[in-house]
A = this chain, B = another copy of it.
Amino acid sequence: MVSWVYLSDIASHVGSRVALKGWVMNRRSSGGVHFVIFRDGTGIIQASFSKEAFSGEAFESIGKVPLESSMEVSGTVVAEPRSMTGYEIRVESYTLVQSAEGYPIGKKEHGVDFLMDHRHLWLRAPRQRAILRIRDTIIKSIRDFFYDRGFTLVDAPVFTPSACEGTSNLFEVGYFDEKAYLTQSGQLYMEAACMALGKVYCFGPTFRAEKSKTRRHLTEFWMVEPEIAYIDMEGNLKLQEEFVEHIVQRVLSRHKKELKLLERDIAPLEKVRTPFERLHYEEAIRVLNENGSDIKWGDDLGGDDETILTKLYEKPIFVHHYPRKCKAFYMKKDPIDDRYALCADMLAPEGYGEIIGGSIREEDINELLAAISNHGLKEEHFKWYLDLRKYGSVPHGGFGLGIERTVAWICGLHHVRETIPFPRMLNRLTP
Contact B139 A176 (CB under 8 A): no
What mask results when residues 209 to 229 of chain A are scored 1 for a CB within 8 Å of chain B, else 0? 101000000011010000001
A178 part of interface (Cβ distance < 8 Å): yes
In A116-165, the 8 Å CB interface with B consists of 118, 120-121, 123-124, 128-129, 132-133, 135-136, 139-140, 143, 147, 150, 152-161
Instruction: Tell me whether A197 and B41 are in contact in the complex, defined as CB-CB below 8 angstroms, given that A204-B205, A229-B21, A392-B98 are known contacts.
Output: yes
B residues in contact with A129, CB < 8 Å:
196-197
Chain B nearest CB from A263 CB (Å) reads: 20
Chain B nearest CB from A236 CB (Å) reads: 14
The 5 closest A-B pairs by CB, nearest first: A41-B198, A120-B192, A384-B431, A123-B196, A100-B391
Chain B nearest CB from A205 CB (Å) reads: 5
Closest to A209 in B: B176
Chain B nearest CB from A44 CB (Å) reads: 11
In A1-51, the 8 Å CB interface with B consists of 4, 6, 8, 21-24, 40-42
Contact A175 B429 (CB under 8 A): yes
Determine, out of A55-63, A293-301, A419-427, the stretch whose residues face the partner at the interface: A419-427
Q: Give me 13 A-to-B residue pairs in the complex whose CB atoms sit less than 8 angstroms apart, sorted by A's number.
A: A40-B229, A102-B390, A102-B391, A133-B197, A155-B205, A155-B420, A156-B422, A157-B421, A157-B424, A158-B158, A159-B424, A159-B429, A161-B431
Chain B nearest CB from A199 CB (Å) reads: 7
B residues in contact with A6, CB < 8 Å:
150, 198
A272 part of interface (Cβ distance < 8 Å): no
Copies in the complex: 2
A41-B229, A155-B222 given; name 6 further pairs at CB < 8 Å: A21-B230, A123-B195, A158-B158, A173-B173, A192-B431, A384-B430
Instruction: Tell me whether A121 and B391 are in contact in the complex, defined as CB-CB below 8 angstroms, given that A222-B155, A424-B157, A429-B178 are known contacts.
Output: yes
B residues in contact with A97, CB < 8 Å:
392-395
B residues in contact with A8, CB < 8 Å:
150
Q: A429 to B161, alpha carbons, bound, how many Å?
A: 6
Chain A residues close to B by CB (< 8 Å) = 4, 6, 8, 21-24, 40-42, 68-70, 72, 97-98, 100-104, 118, 120-121, 123-124, 128-129, 132-133, 135-136, 139-140, 143, 147, 150, 152-161, 171-176, 178, 180, 182, 189, 192-200, 204-205, 207, 209, 211, 219-220, 222, 229-230, 363, 384-385, 387-395, 420-422, 424, 426-427, 429-431
Contact A189 B41 (CB under 8 A): no
Q: A87 to B30, alpha carbons, bound, how many Å?
A: 75
The residue that A152 contacts in the complex, of B102, B136, B176, B178, with Cβ under 8 A, is B136
Chain B nearest CB from A22 CB (Å) reads: 7
B residues in contact with A128, CB < 8 Å:
196
Instruction: Tell me whether A426 and B393 are in contact in the complex, defined as CB-CB below 8 angstroms, given that A41-B194, A143-B140 are known contacts.
Output: no
B residues in contact with A139, CB < 8 Å:
153
